[in-house]
Amino acid sequence: MKKFVFAIIILCGYYSIAQNNAIAFGEKLVFSASYNMSGLLTDIAQVTMETSEVKTSKSTLMRLKCTAATYKKFDNFFKIRDLYESYVNPKTLTPYLYKRDISEGGYYKFMQYKYNHKTKLVQSLKRKKRKDGKTWDENKNVKIGAATKDIVSTLYYIRNLDIHKASPGDQQDFTILFDNKETTITLKYIGKETISTNIGSKACYKLAISIKGSDILKGNNSNLLWLTADENKIPVYAKFKIAIGNGELKIQSATGLKH
């Protein structure tokens, strides 16, 4: 099930960006997440992505918050209450602080990254629970590349890329830090496609997603993401295939958009 949640968050371009032109403070996207159960796609969870303004003593940051929660009727089967969030520069989406707090069927983990971009180091804190309910912490410094981000800031970052300049078959790699390891995600541009969604018919950029050196996502072009082909580039639909099955992510509502 952890792979299922990771795949959902991944599923939610091709030139460098100088600033954020697509995402505003106060944006909120709500999705239904479905999973193939006994041969039928069944809605089992709600995924919410929202942004807000956070003022510190030195600067103003944008909070990128992603949550996943199973619907109550599925809590007895496998209860999920996950939080992923990144605090970024609102103009460049450069991350400064990342937190991951997950509770999945009795499994708990907390991760926190504090970025030092000058030294290319991340101060990492990992917290887990033992069987007796007590927690233990692991602290370490992780060396990262100049372009490495966390998974949340990467999701928002790709919405600012000039996808309209790409040709079908073009692809680009992105490096994320996940569980203290740098992982490469490859996005390939498939083309434009108009699809029907709960917020209307939308012309979209269709992207294929793969992870280098990982077996989380299965199949060739089986993991797909549709971003609206407009200035907002919001994710409206995603399909994924993992070892234990397949699922979909469908947008339910979108408010507070920049354009």
Q: Where are the domains of the chain?
A: 2-254
Cβ neighbors of 154 (< 8 A, separation 6 or more) are 174, 176, 185
How many of the other CB atoms lie within 10 Å of CB of 164?
Answer: 12
Query: How distant, in Å, are the alpha carbons of 21, 128, 162, 174, 228 from that of 232?
Result: 8, 37, 12, 20, 7
CA 107 to chain centre: 20
Q: Which residue shows structure tokens 């280098």? A: 212
d(CA 167, CA 188): 10
Q: What pLDDT was estimated at residue 62?
A: 98
- Single pTM value for the model: 0.90
Q: Which residue has the higher pLDDT, 30 or 35?
A: 30
CATH class of domain segment(s) 2-254: mainly beta
Q: Residue 215 pLDDT more than 80?
A: no
3-class DSSP state of 199: coil
How many C-beta atoms surround the C-beta of residue 38 within 10 A? Answer: 5
Question: Between 14 and 102, whose confidence is greater?
Answer: 102
CA distances from 125 to 32, 113, 128, 250 (A): 31, 7, 10, 33
